[in-house]
Structure formats: C-alpha cells, structure tokens
Amino acid sequence: MELVVRNEGPSLDLVEIADVLPREFAVIRGTNHAVVSLEKDGTLRLAYRIRSPVKGDFVLGPVRARSFDPLALGAQDVVLDVRSPLVVAPAMEDLRRAALQPRRTRPWFGQVASRRIGPGTEFWGVREYVAGDEVRRINWKASARLERLFTNEYEGERSGDVVIVVDARRESSVGTEADNPVEHAVRAALGIADRVLATKNRVGLIVYRQVIDWVPLAFGRKQLYRILDHLVHVKPGGEWRVSHVGLVLSRFFPRDCLIVLITPLQDRDALTAVIDLAARGYDIAIVSPSALEIERRIRPDTPEDQMAYRILAMERANRVAQLRRVAQVVDWDPATPLALALRRMTAWPRRA
C-alpha cells in the first residue's frame, strides 16, 4: 500500500499522520503512521505491506491527521475521508501433487484414464496397421519381428465432473475468526478446485449456510475465479441440513460426478445424507476438518477437557468409520497440510 500526503497550506512544525486499517490487518513491512514536519507544498510518502488472516471485503481508511502547535501544548485533529476498498482472498491449500480426479469420465479430452482405447499417453497394446494410422504410432520393433506393420494403441484420457460441497453452517463455526472449520473448508475447496481444473476436469461448487448457493460446472481458469468470488464471501451461519443439498445435486448436476463434501461432521445428518447419495449412485469423498482438534488447541488442558476430548474423539472416530463404508473419508487436522492427509489415501475415490 502507498499513501502520499501533500501539504497545500502553511508549514507545519509537527504533524502526525496515520492511515487507519481494519482491526484484522497487521503491517508486515514499512509503516502506516508517521510524525514529521511538513513544509509548504511538501509531501510525505507512506509505503507499507499488510496482511490479514481473515478473508472478505474490507475498507482501508480514513486518514487521520493531527497538527501540533510549536510548543506541543495544543493540537488540531482532521479526518480525511480517503477510503480504499480491498478484497482479501482466502489462502489456498497446495495440492499440486495430490491425485484428485473423478472415477467416471465424460467424452471430452482430459487427463483421467478411461480404460478405453483412444487418444492418450499411456501404452495400451498393439494391433495391425491399417491405412490412415499415423506413422509416429507405428511400433517398429514389433513390425520388424513379425515382418508386417503394427501400430501402438493408447489408453484414452478423458475428463470428468467434480462438485465441491462446503458446509458453512453456524454449528461448523468452532474456534477463532481465522482458525475454524469453515475457514479451513474454504481453503480446502479452493485448493481442490484449482487442482481439478488444472487436470482439465469440470468443477462446480455448492455452499450451504443461511441459503444454498452454487456455481454450475465449467472448465478453465475463469471457473476458478467464479468459485473464488463465492468463497471470499462465505461466513458461518444458518442451519440448512446436508440432506437438502441432494435436491440441488439432483436438479442441477449430473449423477456421474464426484462429490467432494467438506464438513467437520458435527452431527449425524451428514452420515444420513451421504448414505442416501451413495444409494442413488453418486461417488462421494469427504474431507473433514476436525473441529475437535481446533477446539483442543485453544482450550486449557484441564482434566475435564481431556476427558471430554477422549469421549468426543471416540464419537468422531465411530462416525468416520461408518462413513468409510460408503465413501472415502479424509480425517484432517487443519494444523497439518491437506496434501499430507490426502496422501494417506489408497485411491481417490475408493471404488463403490
């Protein structure tokens, strides 16, 4: 950020200038505050960098100025209504090495192995040459050995659909403003969307909170920006049930998509909804930022809290075990990178 102040009046022996920041921001380089003397037509330049652990829409300003008399016995305050809107995007989980792809594919070229012969890079087999085959696909070793031309065949690579569902209900807000399951769910959703779009698949988004809103399936970088625009404004609230998401899925999204549900699993509603979606033929993967681990880090470590933690941990482990019968589940402590949690899985998603 940069603020330039110009004194168009008489000389000021001592003036204090501050660019007011929202409480969520911290200055990490430079300064937004200075006490200087300003000659007539003199200028002051404040350059600084700021950081906010909280996403959302913010306004920088106003600018406050205080001029002191030569003896510093009195002062005159002025507030300059100079404001700058600023949008802070959520941090993105680095999932470049994570294997995130749908199992079911559609007839568009992509990077998902389709188990069918077609355009691709993975060798499938050889067959006899037919007129029209590309010369670069001829297998010269096999042709020389069998004294007739043979052509390589490859496993076709196609694309699929992934729908990311984010649980942003009020009961998911456990912890601090910057460290809670909803904020971590937003980070995870953005990272997953970026990774899946980079591998030429379509991605859609559903967020349920006070309302259920969604972003239709689409390809490309523009789709990532659409998803980012929705996620920036997600705040905990509302009490929509997970089961209501099924109505949106059945009406606006294809049944052969992979559903990635990001939820802290605070109640049994998710279990019922996932079983119902699996029975209807959906592939489901669950990423669960643990509200229990978040709360454990911010609460005092008393004997009562330790006992409560053990009981709640057993309940959560039982819920995860039940869900793993019908879906792939990632039990994620947000203190660790999501990529590490995803790496522990054997497949994504597990075959039904």
Does domain 160-343 match CATH 3.40.50.410?
yes
Answer whether CATH 2.60.40 is correct for domain 2-88: yes
- The total number of residues shown for the chain amounts to 352
Q: Where are the domains of the chain?
A: 2-88, 115-156, 160-343
- pLDDT single digits (tens) 222-280: 999 999 999 999 988 887 777 788 888 888 888 888 899 999 998 888 888 888 888 88
Q: What is the pLDDT of residue 105?
A: 60
- The pLDDT, as a whole number, for residue 143 is 84
Q: What pLDDT, in 10s, does the model give residues 265-304? A: 988 888 888 888 888 888 899 999 999 999 888 888 888 8
| Span 200-209, pLDDT tens digits | 889 999 999 8
pLDDT band per the 50, 70, 90 thresholds, residue 104: low
pLDDT of residue 47: 94
- Per-residue pLDDT tens for 300-324? 888 888 898 899 999 999 999 999 8
Model confidence at 51: pLDDT above 60: yes
Instruction: Identify the residue with better confidence: 157 or 12.
Output: 12
CA distance 88 to 130: 58
Residue 107 has pLDDT above 60, yes or no: no
Strands 283-289 and 328-332, how do they pair? parallel
Gap between the Cα atoms of 96 and 98, Å rounded = 6
Q: How far is CA 237 from the centre of its chain?
A: 18
